Every structure is written in structure tokens, then in C-alpha cells.
Amino acid sequence: MLRYDTLKHRGREFLAATSLTPDEFLLLLPAFVAAEGQAQPSNLTRAGKPRQRQAGAGPKGTLPRPEDRLLFILVYQKTHPLQTMHGLQFGLSQPQTNAWIHRLLPLLQQALADLGHRPARQADDVADSVLATEGGASLALDGTERRRQRPKEPQTQRSHYSGKKKAHTDKNLLLVNEQTGKVAYLGPTEAGKKHDKNAADEAQVVYPAYATLDQDTGFQGYAPAGVLTQQPKKSQEAVR
């Protein structure tokens, strides 16, 4: 089974599984533990009733340690597997996996917010975001896709089919600070068929003053007011 102790000394695998280095994981862990403590006081049960015995008594769960719980939700966020497959990695059934995801995801979001690393989800918040302006508002915009289960309804199938990926996908816009490498804005989830520029136009992101924006050819024609946009050109080697 996948556990923190099996990965903590394997930096490359740890990064591939969680998008964090082991050191970054340890910086996030205290905030995650604090968020757990706020959501689940030690004197109350999960149902909110006073405990009849101390926390930790009784049978031990499959994910008793906060390190393993944080690893569980980070791996899910990074790889986005089917819940059955994710559960197999951690020794959980699909219903147990579903329950843990819904329990831990808000805690991860709260921990990131407490540390100032949670991306803006509202387009109006980007202009005042520290994540966007740290080191200068040098930003890069891109669309990211991830596979999803094939929808049952034919119309939904068509809207989620991405010709680029040759698969059914969900799509989000990402705005990254090029100075820090941090994600400053995460756009709403869209169907995979939607074009990157259309998604950007609909998002109506409010950028910081004097921002520069790197974008690829998928955003051809996207030029928000007051922003210097830059698009990489093909090298002569590629053209030949």
C-alpha cells in the first residue's frame, strides 16, 4: 500500500505523485494538521457530539496518520484517478475513498489558503492577488486537460471530446506567475471541446496593472486591455 514512509526518501517519485518535493510536503503538513484540528476538535466526534473516550482510542483506521492523509489527497489531486483505482493504492474500498476525498479536500484547500498558496478562483480577484504580483506581474496563461470517464449521454460525449487529446476530458485555465512558478488563478472546469481562447474570453480575468502575459497559439487574438501579451514564435529550425 502507498504510504508516506515508503515515499519520503524517494524524491523523484514523491514529486511525480504529489507535485511537491518532500521538503515542500513537510512545510504544508503543519497547516494541514491545523486545518484538521479546526474542523475536528479532539473533544468532539465527527458527528459533533462530545466524546465518551479520548481521541485515538478504539480500532485504528486505514489512514491514521496525518502524513498519510495528506499524501492521499495530494496524490488524488495530482493524478485524478478513478476512485476505485485510488482506493486500491491505499487499501480502501471505493465508498471509503469517496468519503475520505470529501473529508480531506476542504482541509487541503484551507491549509493552502492559510499559507497564502491557494490560487484565486474568481477572475476579479486576480488583480489583487499576491500570487499574481509577487516578483512582478510576469504571468503565463495556458489550458490544461485531464481525462474523465466517457459520459453516457451522446450530447455530453461530444462536448467533452477533445480532438487534441483524442479523449474525453475536462479543461481548466491556469495562470502562473513566471517568477515564482506558483499558480495564481485556476479557472472553472469546462468541457474538453471548448477552445482555450473562448474559455479565456468568458472568464474575463482582471489582470494586475502593467502585467505581461505569455500565451501559446491556442490564445491567438486574446488581448486583454492594459496587458502586454507575448506569444512564442516557431524557430526557423521548426519551420524547415
Q: How far apart (Å, rounded) are the C-alpha atoms in residues 187 and 198? A: 12
Looking at residue 171, its pLDDT comes to: 92
Residue-wise pLDDT tens digits, 5-18 = 999 999 999 999 99
Q: Are 123 and 204 in contact (CB under 8 A)?
A: yes
Residues 6+ apart with CB under 8 A from 144: 171, 172, 173, 174
Q: Cell 496525518 belongs to which residue?
A: 66
Report the predicted TM-score, pTM, of the whole model to 2 decimal places.
0.75
Which residues sit opposite 171 in a β-bridge?
145, 190
SS3 of 20-48: CCHHHHHHHHHHHHHHHHHHCCCCECCCC
Output the CA–CA distances (angstroms, integers) from residue 10 to 4, 25, 50, 142, 224, in the order listed: 10, 13, 41, 30, 43
pLDDT along the chain (240 residues), means of 10: 93 94 96 90 63 58 90 93 93 95 95 92 92 92 88 89 88 93 92 91 93 92 91 61
pLDDT tens per residue across span 33-42? 999 988 876 6
pLDDT for position 56 = 54
Instruction: Write the pLDDT tens digit of every residue in 144-158.
Output: 888 888 888 888 888
For residue 190 the three cell numbers come to 469546462
Q: Are 212 and 205 in contact (CB under 8 A)?
A: no
Alpha carbon distance 68, 8 (integer Å):
11
**pLDDT attached to residue 71:** 97
pLDDT of residue 239: 46
